[in-house]
Amino acid sequence: MEKQINAQASNVAWKGKKVLGSHEGTIDLKDGKFHIENDQIVGGEFVMDMTSITVTDLKGEDKAGLEGHLNSDDFFGVANYPASKLVITSVAKKDDGTYGVVGDLTIKDQTHPVTFDLDWNDNTATTKLTIDRSKYNVRYNSGSFFSGLGDQTIYDNFDLNIELKFK
């Protein structure tokens, strides 16, 4: 059985930190589904619309400036890589009822395994996911690629807060 995600009603919020501060925003899910067998998750596939990156902690020119920068090749190069993808490869239920999940995450055509715990409810699933952008060639002001950045460093890890609603 497939459980389709209601992309419109679902929410993906991101938070990125730098030495001197942080920024946050949202990104839209294009489509997604979980595979269910015998009432257990066994898989799933999710596609993010990378052209939808929005900044929510700034306004006006600053907001547009950062959105433009995030869309550029310094970060996610969305003209060349308009979608990113997560494919669940393994799932198991933990004692506390959450699911431990292993997935293949593809950003900028780079695929790496990611792992996260998923809270599973009747009509929703939620998770917090930390992603290391240095693995996906998202290089701008990353200490993994450039030396001597000092307090201009932007952290490699960014966080996603995900709330999925089912159709």
Interface positions with another protein (CB under 8 A): 17-22, 89-95, 100-102, 112-113, 115-117, 130, 132, 143-144, 149-151, 153, 155-157
Q: Which is nearer to another protein, 123 or 157 (CB)?
A: 157
For residue 87, which of 100, 101, 108, 99 has the smallest C-alpha distance?
A: 101
Residue 11 CB, shortest distance to another protein, in Å, is: 23
Q: Shortest approach of another protein to residue 67 CB, angstroms? A: 21
Q: Shortest Cβ distance from residue 43 to another protein (Å)?
A: 12
Q: Which is nearer to another protein, 19 or 79 (CB)?
A: 19
Check if the beta carbon of residue 136 is closer than 8 Å to that of residue 110.
yes
Shortest distance (Å) from residue 142 CB to another protein:
8
- Beta carbon of residue 21, minimum distance to another protein (angstroms, whole number): 5
Task: Round to whole Å and give the CA distance between 5 and 48.
Answer: 12
Task: Tell me the residue type at 86.
Answer: L
The answer to whether the beta carbons of residues 44 and 127 sit under 8 Å apart is no
128 vs 167 by CB, closer to another protein = 128
In this complex, which beta carbon is closest to another protein, that of residue 28 or of residue 119? Answer: 119
Helix locations, the chain, DSSP H: 60-71
Please report, for residues 16, 19, 139, 146, the alpha-carbon distance to residue 150 in angstroms, rounded to integers and kept in the order given.
17, 8, 15, 10
Residue pair 111/104 in contact by the 8 Å Cβ criterion: yes
Contact present, 98 and 117 (Cβ < 8 Å) = yes
Q: Which is nearer to another protein, 29 or 118 (CB)?
A: 118
Partner residues linked to 129 by β-bridges: 160
